[in-house]
Structure 1
Amino acid sequence: MSLGLFFWKSPFRGCQTSEMKIEKILNNNVVLTLNESNQETVVMGRGIAFQKKVGQDIETDKIEKTFIPEGQEVLENLANLYRDIDPDILEIATNVIKYAQGVLRLKLSNHIYLTLPDHLSYAISRTKEGLDIRNPLTWEIKRFYKVEYEIGLKAISLVKDEMSILLPDSEAASIALHIVNARQDNSDLGVTIRMTELVQDILNIVHFYYGMTFDEDSFQYTRFITHLQYFARRLLHQERRESNDDFLYDQIQKKYQKAFKCTERINDYLLNVENTSLTKDEQLYLAIHIQRVTTED
């Protein structure tokens, strides 16, 4: 099932929760209700519909998440998804999301409550059928998104403990991408994947230009990766700015000549694969980071 049809608003607020009634039961943990504006609203919580019937009050102390799907078609697709997925998978996905938010200390976008259960369901089905489809970006994801990858390993562990199914370690990388995507305010997963590829390609250009291997545990390397991730995100989302600081640009070009030449290689790559070129700001800050990561002791 494609999830491209889903669009999520912020969790609803201001509803008179004491009057919330169950309009439809999707499973033991998910129901539909109407808010004070008469909008159909998804309400999630462990056991929130257990031994309940349509028309009964929702126990507010069991509510963990609420959100409003946009459009009837979206609502129907949502209902089908939550009705068809194994409740154990939904519970595992919810626990992974809670764990991720605790580790990352932030709230993830609402769409993760759909994309992650859907992905886990598909991954478990493939594993049961003996199909081992590896994520080609596993190595890159382990390097660039270490925390999210560890969350992915936690998800694999939960699936093993709760369902006695051992997912391949590469699934941790795929789960990590969903977490990364949910951190970026509902960005398209394809953009997240392309970001990862861009970062790796730029690292390769620097690696081969200097003929050196990076110390991946160093502070400057971590800073460089973070800079590349934000750069790739801005480039793909077309959120680029130009300060036109010609003085600083000229100073960096003179001071860090080799690093600046390396950015020209990066610029050639971007022209070839993305049909775009570096701005002066992007070029000078890339040069600064390249200089730091290639000269640290």
Structure 2
Amino acid sequence: MLKIVQIFNNNAALVDLDNHRQGVAKGRGITFQKKRGSMISPEKVEKLFVLETETSRENLYTLLKNIPIDVVTTTYEIIDVAQQQYHLKVLDYIYITLSDHIFGAYKRYIDGTYEDSMVPDFHTQYPTEYAVARQALQIIATNLGVHFPDSEAKNIALHFINATGEADSEQKFNKKTETTIDNVVRRVLKRHGIFRSTSNSNYYDRFMIHLQYLVSRLQQTNVEATTIVPQVTNELKQNYPRSHEIASEIFNEIKQNLYPGMSDDERLYFIIHIQRLIEESPVDKQLTRKKP
């Protein structure tokens, strides 16, 4: 039997497992008329997502502050498929970034502002990540009732590409370096007239989340191994020259002063985040409207 620690809704709960571990149990009506401390029969649990570490538990509580539990459990299911069926190794921060992305895309889809992905196609270089992403679209459709276009798979695949690595039992953050990187980025963005605003706050905050986990990723992966082909970056440079310029300033400063071995792949991630910021910034929207 599984002991309920916290009830999220009628279909999901945090439960105690063996060896002082916890997990998120999901199943139709498993918490109906139950309370904290009640028992759930394992036979009624359709999905169980084990929280192996303190970091994973902290990630869950962070997510639940701003993201509905149905989106969170959908994300956990997608990552579980990636790990169990496709044997992908990913760092824990993907739970944060992918949940945030799916929720943002879901809201834009519902309110009619969703736009096709601007991410280049990497399926030749990353067939496994794209296979996961295509299955993720099916899981999202089943769990959340939203049918994203096939191009959304590129966004989801990028999250898995970005988070590839062998996670330690507990993630350790170098707060001093993290703060330094954050200051570098804010300074460069300010120099180019990009500030956090009501219209771009979602993308601005997502960029900051990316930076928060950048240090952890650089410390735990082979950062010198560039895996995204140069043609992709060149394509982004041609299509988004201003974003490429800003991203290159950030990339070069971090590489020269903090992480000399940082892969050129990071420049691509910066470009994508910055382009989204530019598209949502008030000044840039005005400039866009003035174009003939």
TM (normalized to structure 2)? 0.48
Task: Say which one has the larger Rg.
Answer: 1
TM (normalized to structure 1)? 0.47
